[in-house]
Amino acid sequence: MLSVLLYAAETWTLLDGDCRALEVFHVKCQRQFLQVKWHQFIQNDETTESTGLPSISESISHRRNSLFGHVARLQEDVPAHKALNCHVDLSLRRPLSSQWNRRADCPRNRGLTRFGGTTASCLLTSEGVPSIVVITGRR
């Protein structure tokens, strides 16, 4: 059941509320497994001690560390390894390498234009003709 519940959990962005909801579900499943009824007044700590299962947050943390180790051991030319190095460099306030500069043929704005608080987003077809225009903000 945990493998289904935590599928790709190492890539999730969890808020405190999400983590609490996962923990509640995990304890509820443990209580069902142990056949604990609501009127027996057994605390959650006792339930988790009797099953011996780690908490959901510990499992997710272990999965994230495993993924980090895997990406850190990849070869230097793999895009995931380059992205990890870029993130580490940015967090340590190191200057980025020249490989992250914008190509000369790349436009600065990809169909995104601002008009005094209103944003118009335009998706271009292969011929350069606007196909969809989305306007958000004040009118």
pLDDT value at position 114?
46
Q: How do 130-137 and 112-115 pair as beta strands?
A: unpaired
Q: Cβ(62)–Cβ(50) under 8 Å?
A: no
pLDDT value at position 34?
93
- Please list the pLDDT of the chain residue by residue as tens digits (139 residues): 788 888 999 889 889 999 999 999 999 999 999 999 989 999 989 999 999 999 999 999 999 999 999 999 999 889 888 888 888 888 888 877 666 566 666 666 554 444 444 444 444 444 554 444 445 554 4
Q: What are the structural domain ranges in the chain?
A: 2-99, 107-139
Q: How far apart are CA 62 and CA 11, in angstroms?
A: 12
Closest CA to 84 of 68, 101, 100: 68
pLDDT value at position 120?
46
Name the packing angle between helices 56-72 and 79-91 (round to 10°). Answer: 110
